[in-house]
Chains A and B, each alone.
Chain A
């Protein structure tokens, strides 16, 4: 299989919420670099013109009737990819923090078929990513938890730049996929459900990453992540004794 086959069989997914200012440009860039890969934008009930802008940029657009959450927006894209027979899916954030050119790294890796879920890590390569001490500590904790559970080094469990094959798509659409903050718990439950996970280095433009985890949600985020990672491992144990 050559590279262009992988491109044409891959769907590039961008979940967006109020990204009208930048989405058109982002879609345009992706279409330019990867003309063979269809771009799907899932608009998670934006109040701005994200959907129209994305369409103008050349993307297919699915619109949630109301805001469901970043995880749900990704999952809608997964469902679409699965039903339309795509073999691979790459998703990235709509806020321009990810470099569209780097989709090529994911496609290359998918083509090697060594992993089912590929996670782009901003800490694997040149680590020039500025973070507040609190966020850094939080990320360390979740990286550590993931690394311990997987017995494999995971450096960036919160990354929104990931790629997967149909096996992962099936698992993420039939079973549990968190509606909000699909981060460390996705990696851990993927591991328990037998997916092979690899991290590859990416570069991130910090200027753009206002991100979805803001201020007051930090404590909720930590609580939610600890509970759902814990429950993911319990679920797995129970299932294993049943089968």
Chain B
């Protein structure tokens, strides 16, 4: 692997890591979402510094070209993180739904006894 490529990969990985840590520091990214990206940064950095590692993994998996190993894991990661986001979005959707329900009940109570108010009372 030529030095310039190695340098480029290392610089990009470091920039990614610094960017992630900075956004976490500024509270723009929550820690529970940051870990996946931190992991990606570390993996890219490691592979940039020791490209031999990528060759070893490629051979171990029986893949012909190292670039395919990168594509494979890149794709796997994308699938995983999107699934992770879908789960989080579902969670948020449920929470928003419940909040809206609670607000409507609170607001209904705040309006006071409306037109009919024959409540049987708490049991």
Q: A-side interface residues toward B, CB under 8 Å?
A: 8-9, 31, 36, 38-39, 42, 55, 58-66, 68-69, 72, 75-76, 79-80, 83-87, 179
Contact = CB atoms under 8 A, between A and B. Distances in A.
Contact of B119 (A42, A58, A69, A85): A85
A87 B104 contact: no
A31 B115 CA distance: 11
Contact of A68 (B100, B105, B119, B122): B100
B97 interface: yes
Nearest to A5: B120
B91 to A, nearest CB: 13
A179 B121 CA distance: 29
Contacts of B74: none
B116 A60 contact: yes
Interface string B108-123: 1000001111111111
Given A39-B116, A79-B101, 20 more contacts: A8-B118, A8-B120, A9-B120, A38-B116, A55-B115, A58-B116, A59-B115, A60-B114, A62-B104, A63-B104, A64-B104, A65-B100, A65-B103, A65-B104, A68-B100, A72-B100, A75-B101, A80-B108, A84-B119, A85-B121
B107 interface: yes
Contact of A87 (B93, B107, B115, B123): B123
5 contacts: A8-B118, A55-B114, A69-B97, A76-B104, A85-B121
